[in-house]
Amino acid sequence: MAFLPSQLTKKRPTSEISYELEKRRTIEQYRTGTLSIHDVCDAHPELLRSAHNYSFKQAGDCPICEQETLVTVSYVFGPRLPSHGRCVNSERDLDRIRKRKGSFTCYEVEVCTSCSWNYLNRAYPL
């Protein structure tokens, strides 16, 4: 369940993909006991570091621990960027990448800095 940017490099969407339905299913499986807290709150240390240092504050409470500690970590993949993606934390950074030649894809991951819940929310071409 843990999100790792390196898992994303093979298939990139050509239009926006929302993972909202899968996320709701995962939360429901946690609430009914099919998944344990260890299954859903397993953010990789690298992702947690990005969540603390390079993220956008997200509205709403964590679906697992119900704290106001949700953030969005955005990774961009594309030509002349690191193979594990570039973590961006501002619209200005995204705009700078949009102006470059080539096609770029942004992946937004929801992370709770309190309980380590993490889920890929959406992916879209820049």
Q: How far is the CB of 70 from Zn ion (least distance, A)?
A: 7
Q: How far is the CB of 112 from Zn ion (least distance, A)?
A: 3
Region of 7-15, 19-27, 53-61, 62-70 interacting with Zn ion (CB under 5 A): 62-70
| Nearest Cα to Cα of residue 107 among 81, 90, 92, 88 | 88
**Is 30 a binder of Zn ion (CB under 5 A)?**
no
Q: Which is nearer to Zn ion, 89 or 114 (CB)?
A: 114
Full DSSP string of 56-69:
EE-SS--TTT--S-
Q: How far is the CB of 5 from Zn ion (least distance, A)?
A: 21
Instruction: Write the interaction track for Zn ion spanning residues 90-119; mark x where CB under 5 A is met and - where it is not.
Output: ----------------------x-xx-x--
Please provide residue 95's backbone torsions phi and psi, each rounded to the nearest 5 degrees.
-60, -40
Query: In sequence order, which ranges of the chain are alpha helices (DSSP H)?
Result: 20-31, 37-40, 45-53, 91-98
| Nearest Cα to Cα of residue 44 among 77, 7, 81 | 7
Tell me which residues touch Zn ion (CB under 5 A): 62, 64-65, 112, 114-115, 117
